[in-house]
Amino acid sequence: AQSVSQHNHHVILSEAASLELGCNYSYGGTVNLFWYVQYPGQHLQLLLKYFSGDPLVKGIKGFEAEFIKSKFSFNLRKPSVQWSDTAEYFCAVTGSGNTGKLIFGQGTTLQVKP
């Protein structure tokens, strides 16, 4: 079955700490991968995406993610978090020819302490 697993449900970090959020997917065929973020009181918005090419993708606000095909993973990283990164983060996958039907993970709530 097609699915996305996010290992960390709730992460608490201090400012300037490094961040890595895990994401593993189960999906047959070529995939497109996404990280979406939802800041408190706001709508979901795209953080970064991978379609093809360089497996290390850079997104907004200093975030990056690495696609490791052999591990079916697409982990999100940031070297130094800020209080404003407090949000809920969702990993999502879709097939290369089916871009609208995203399968989302459960989400990870990140709390950054000032």
Partner 1 sequence: GAGVSQTPSNKVTEKGKYVELRCDPISGHTALYWYRQSLGQGPEFLIYFQGTGAADDSGLPNDRFFAVRPEGSVSTLKIQRTERGDSAVYLCASSLTSPTGELFFGEGSRLTVL
- Residue 63 is a binding residue for partner 1 (CB under 8 A): no
Give the residue, chosen from 40, 42, 53, 114, that forms a contact with partner 1 under the rule CB under 8 A: 42
Site string for partner 1, 4-23 (x = CB under 8 A): x-------------------
Locate 97 and state its tokens.
Answer: 């020819």
- Residue 40 is a binding residue for partner 1 (CB under 8 A): no
Smaller CB distance to partner 1: residue 10 or 71? 10
- Amino acid occupying residue 82: Q
- Residue 31 is a binding residue for partner 1 (CB under 8 A): no
Bridge partners, residue 91, by sequence: 35
82, 60 Cβ separation under 8 angstroms: no
* Backbone phi, psi, residue 46, to 5°: -75, 130
CA nearest to 21, candidates 59, 84, 65, 75: 75
Smaller CB distance to partner 1: residue 26 or 45? 45
- Residue 24 is a binding residue for partner 1 (CB under 8 A): no
Bridge partners, residue 46, by sequence: 36
Locate 109 and state its tokens.
Answer: 């709530």
Residues that bind partner 1 in the complex, under the rule CB under 8 A: 4, 32, 34, 36, 42-46, 49, 51, 90, 92, 94, 96-107
